[in-house]
Amino acid sequence: MPDLIQLAQALVNGVGVGLVYGLVGIGFCVIYNASGIVNFAQGVFVMLGGMLAHTLLTRAGLPMPVAAVLATVIVAAIGVAIQLLVVSPMWQRGTSMFAIILATLAVQIMIERITILSLGDQPRTYDNFTPGGPLRLGPITIDYQLFWVLGGGALMVAALWLFFTRTRIGRALRACSQNAEAAALLGIPVGRMLLLSFALSAALGSAAGILITPTQYTAYSIDGPFGVNGFIAAIIGGFGSAPGALAGGILLGAAQAVAVVLFGAGYRNVAALVIMLLVLLLFPSGVFNATRSKA
Amino acid sequence: MLGVGLLGFVMLNGGYLVTVLGLAAIYGVFCTGLNLFMGYTGQASFGQSAFAAVGGYGTAILCAGHGWDPVAGLVVSMAIAGLLALVVGYPVMRLRGHYLAMATFALGLIVYELSVEWSGLTQGYMGYAGIPPLGFAGHELGTERAQLGALVAIMLFGVWLAERMKSSRFGRALRAIAGSEPAAMALGIPVSRYKLAAFVVAAVYASAAGSLFAHFIGFISPEVFGVPMVVLSFTMLYLGGIGTIWGPVMGAVIASLLPELFRGLKEMQDIAYSVVLILMLIFVPGGLAGLLRRLARKPT
Amino acid sequence: MSAALLSVERVSKRFGGLVANDAISLDVAEGSLTAVIGPNGAGKTTFFNIISGALPPTAGRIQLAGQDITGLSLQQVAQRGLVRTFQLVQLFGNMTVRENVEVGLHMVTRGTLGAALLRPRWMAAQERWVRDEADTLLGFVGLGAFAQTQADQLPYGRQRLLEVARALAAKPRLLLLDEPAAGLDTQESAALADIIQQVNARGTTVLLIEHDMSLVMRIATHVAVLDFGRKIAEGSPAEMRAHPDVLAAYLGGVEEAHA
C-alpha cells in the first residue's frame, strides 16, 4: 500500500508533466484542424525547445529569457520548414494521409539524428528559472519550476484562446478547420494558414519543452514519448478539441504519476498506452464529449 | 537476374558485402511481412519493430541462454510473436488512420522500453551477446557465406509464401479491404478478422527477421529494434514499391547497399534513409517497382 | 400473391432532431423488381443504409426471408443474402476488373490463410471455377474485354456495370442497387436497365433506389414513393404515375426542373 503522501506528491508533479502533454496535444489539434494532417514529429518541438535553450544558455551564455525566446523562434521556423519542404508538397499532390504521417515520422528521426551529431547524445538540464525552493506544504514539496510550468502553460492557453477568438487571423484559421474549401472561397489563404498552424504548434511545443526541462532533463530521445503522450492527450480530449487536449494531458500526467507510484517507473508508458487503448475503444470521440456523436 | 549476379559476385568475393547482403535478406523477410499488412491490406503499422524484438530476444534467450536449437528458437519465437499480435491486434485493429498508426507506434515504444527496463530477461541496455550462428540439429553454419546462402533461401521461401497468400481468396480479400472497406463488407468479407490475420502474419515475419538478425550478427540490443528500424523498413518498402511481391526485397537490397556509397556514422545513415524516404514519398510513391511497371506499360 | 422476401416494419431514423425516416414500412415480394423513388432529401439513401446494415435504425424491424436482420452489420446482412451496391461507386481500384468480380465470389467460396499457403487440390479447382465464373459474369454485363484492366482505369459507366457484376457474384437473394444509373448517359442507362431486367428475370429479387424516373417506370414491377422521410404512396408504376400525391411531391418537381 503506497502511502498517500507519496501519491499526492506524485500527482503534483504529474500535473506539471501533464500540462506539457496537453500543450503538445493542442499542437496536434491546431495542425489537424487546419489540414486534417497528423504531424507525428510533434514531440520533436518539445525536444528541440529544451535542447536549444540549453545550448543557447550554456554555449552562447545568453540569459534565460533571451535563450527561451530565441529557441522558440528557431523551433517555430523549423516547424515552418517541415511544412514547406515535406508536408506541403505531399498535401498538394493529394498523397494519402498515411504517407504524410510516415514522412513526418521520417522527419522526426532525421531531426533526432542531426541533434545527436550537432549537440551530442547526453541528457542535460538547466537550473530552475527562479532559485530557491522547493515550497513545502507539510510533507509535500512543490518545486518552484512547477509554478513556472503552470503559469506559463496557463498564459499560453489564454493567449491561444484570445488568438482564436479575437484576432482576424485566428478566426480565419478556425474557419479553415471547419471547411477548408469554403474558407478558400472566402479568400482566406489556406496554404498560409497551414504554415501558420505549423509555426504555432511548433512554438507551443518548444515553449512547453523549455518550461519542463528543469524539472527533469532533455535529450534527443524525449521526442518519442512526448509526442505519443501528447497524442494520447489529444485523443482523450476528442481529437481536434484544444481545451479537451489540455484537460486530457493533465489527466494523463496525473494517471501516469499514480501508475509509477503503484507499479514502478518502468510502467510510465505502459500506463499511457493502456489509457490510450481504453479511450480509443470505449470513447472513440473523446472522454469529454462521449455523448456527442461524431459528425 | 541482377540480384542473382550480385549474389554470385558477393559469394565469390566474400568480404564486408556478405554481411550487407545478409542484412538485406533479413530486412527482405521483415518487409515482405509488413507489405502484406500495409501494401496489400492497406493498413498502417508503425510498431512492427516490436515483433522483431520478440523474435530477436526470443532467440537470444532460448538459444544463447538455454542452449536451444536455432530452428526451435526461431519457431517458438514466431509463435509467441503471432500470439502477441493476436492479443494486441484484436482491439487495435478496430482503429483506423492516424489512430491505428499511433496505437501501433506506441506498441513499438513500449516493447523498446521493456527491452531496456526488464534487464533480468533482456540484459537491458547493454544488449545480449554470444548468440550462436544459424544452424540445424547441432550443425552450425560455420562460414558467413553459408549463412548468407541460408538467409537468402529463407527470404525466397518467405516471398514464395507471400505470393501464395496474395494470389488466393485470402489475398484478394486483403486487397479488397485496401480498395474499399464498405464494399468489402457489403460482399460479406469479415473485414476486422482479415485485418487481424494480416497483422499476425506480418508479426510472424517480423519475428523471424528478428531471430535471423540475432543469429547472423550474434548480438542484439534494444537499439536494434528502435524507431529507426521502422523508418528504415518503410524506406525499403517505398523504395522498392509497396504492394508488389518483389518490391520489398528490391527495396531491402538497394537500401542496404545505399550507405555503402557514403559510408560514415550510423547517424548519417539514418539521416540518409529518412531523406530518401521523404523524397520517395513525395516524388515516387509507387517505388521502383511502380516506376518499372509504368515504363513497361508505356507503348514503345 | 408471393411471399415477402424483405419485410420492413415501421423503420425510423433520427439524426439528432432531424427525422430522416419516419415509420417507413415496405414489403419486397420474392422475385419482384421493386423501386424506391422520391425527390432529393426524401430519405431514400438513409432507408437503404438501414436495410443493408450500414446504419442501425432508431426504431422498427427488418426481416429477410423471415429472419430478423435489424441492427446487424453490413457484413452480417450480406452473409444472409442481401448484397448492395453504392451510390458513389466503391470499386477495388487497386485490382483488375476480373479480380473485383472474384472478390464478389468470396461468400460462395471457401478457404482462408491455411488453404492459401497449402493449396490443397480442391483449392486449385476452386480457383479455376472462380476465374471462369468471374469471366461469365463479366461477359454477362459486357465487360469481357476489360478483364485485365485495372478497375480504376475503367470509364465511369463501365465502373457502374462492374459494381453490378461484382454484387451478382455474391449470389444475392436480394440485390440492392443504390442509384445505379446516377451519372450515366441515356444509352448507358438503357443498357443497364436491360441488365437489371435480365438479372430479375433469372430469379434474383431486386430493390433499387433511383432518381431516373424513366428507368424506374420502364423496368420496375412495384414502386414505393418517399417524401420528407415518409412513404407517401406505393403501387404499380402506372398507378404511381397517376397518383396525385406523387405528382405533387415528385413528378411536378421534375417537370418544373425540366421547364
Do the chains contact at C95 and B175, CB–CB below 8 Å? yes
Do the chains contact at B186 and C83, CB–CB below 8 Å? yes
The shortest CB-CB distance from A281 to any of B94, B110, B281 is to B94
The shortest CB-CB distance from C94 to any of B161, B179, B185 is to B179
Q: Is C8 helix (H, G, I), strand (E, B) or coil?
A: strand
Q: What is the pLDDT of residues A225-248, one digit of tens each?
A: 888 899 889 988 888 788 889 999
Q: How many CA atoms lie within 13 A of A245 on its CB side?
A: 26
Residue B165: predicted pLDDT: 93
Q: What is the pLDDT of residues A128-142, one digit of tens each?
A: 887 777 777 777 788
- Can you tell me the mean pLDDT for C205-231? 88
Residue A238: predicted pLDDT: 81
Is residue C259's pLDDT more than 50?
no
DSSP notation for A229-258: HHHHHHHHT-TT-HHHHHHHHHHHHHHHHH
Residue A196: which of A175, A220, A223, A225 has the closest Cα? A175
Task: Decide if the complex's ipTM is over 0.85.
Answer: yes
Residue of chain C whose alpha carbon sits nearest to that of B243 = C94
The mean pLDDT value of chain A amounts to 84
How far is C97 from chain B, CA to nearest CA, in Å?
A: 12
For chain A, give the percent of residues with pLDDT over 90: 24
> CA A180 to CA C154: how far, in whole Å?
30
> CA B243 to CA B14: how far, in whole Å?
33
Residue B300: predicted pLDDT: 41
Is residue B23's pLDDT more than 80?
yes
Residue C99: predicted pLDDT: 95
Is residue C158's pLDDT more than 50?
yes
Confidence of residue B1 (pLDDT cuts 50, 70, 90): low
The mean pLDDT value of chain B amounts to 86
Residue A276: predicted pLDDT: 80
Using a CB-CB cut-off of 8 Å, the residues of chain B touching A116 are: 267
Residue A71: predicted pLDDT: 93
Do the chains contact at A97 and B97, CB–CB below 8 Å? yes
How far is B241 from chain A, CA to nearest CA, in Å?
A: 13
Residue A286: predicted pLDDT: 67
- Can you tell me the mean pLDDT for B200-217? 94
- Can you tell me the mean pLDDT for A33-50? 88
Q: Long-range contacts made by residues C142-150, C-beta under 8 angstroms, separation at least 24?
A: C142/C191, C143/C97, C146/C97, C147/C96, C147/C97, C147/C98, C148/C96, C148/C97, C148/C98, C149/C96, C149/C97, C150/C93, C150/C94, C150/C95, C150/C96, C150/C97
C-alpha distance from residue A6 to each of A2, A12, A139, A267, B143 (Å): 7, 10, 9, 17, 57
Helices (H) and strands (E) in chain A, counts: 12, 2
Residue A180: predicted pLDDT: 67
Do the chains contact at A106 and B277, CB–CB below 8 Å? yes
* Cα torsion angle, A166, A167, A171, A176, sign: negative
- Write down the residue that cell numbers 558467413 correspond to: B144
Is residue B81's pLDDT more than 90?
yes
Q: Which one has a higher pLDDT value, A99 or A24? A: A24
Range from A62-76, A270-284, B56-70 that averages highest in pLDDT = A62-76
Given a contact cutoff of 8 angstroms between Cβ atoms, the answer to whether C250 and C38 are in contact is yes
Do the chains contact at C117 and B161, CB–CB below 8 Å? yes
Confidence of residue C6 (pLDDT cuts 50, 70, 90): very high
C-alpha distance from residue B167 to each of B100, B178, C91 (Å): 26, 15, 19
The mean pLDDT value of chain C amounts to 88
Q: Which chains touch A (3 or more CB pairs under 8 A)?
A: B
* Least confident interval from A176-185, B120-129, C113-122, C193-202: A176-185
Q: Which one has a higher pLDDT value, B223 or A176? A: B223
How far is B36 from chain C, CA to nearest CA, in Å?
A: 12
Is residue B12's pLDDT more than 70?
no
Q: Which one has a higher pLDDT value, C178 or C254? A: C178
Interface of B with C (CB under 8 A): 161, 164-165, 168-173, 175-176, 178-180, 182-191, 197, 201, 243
Q: Which one has a higher pLDDT value, C38 or B185? A: B185
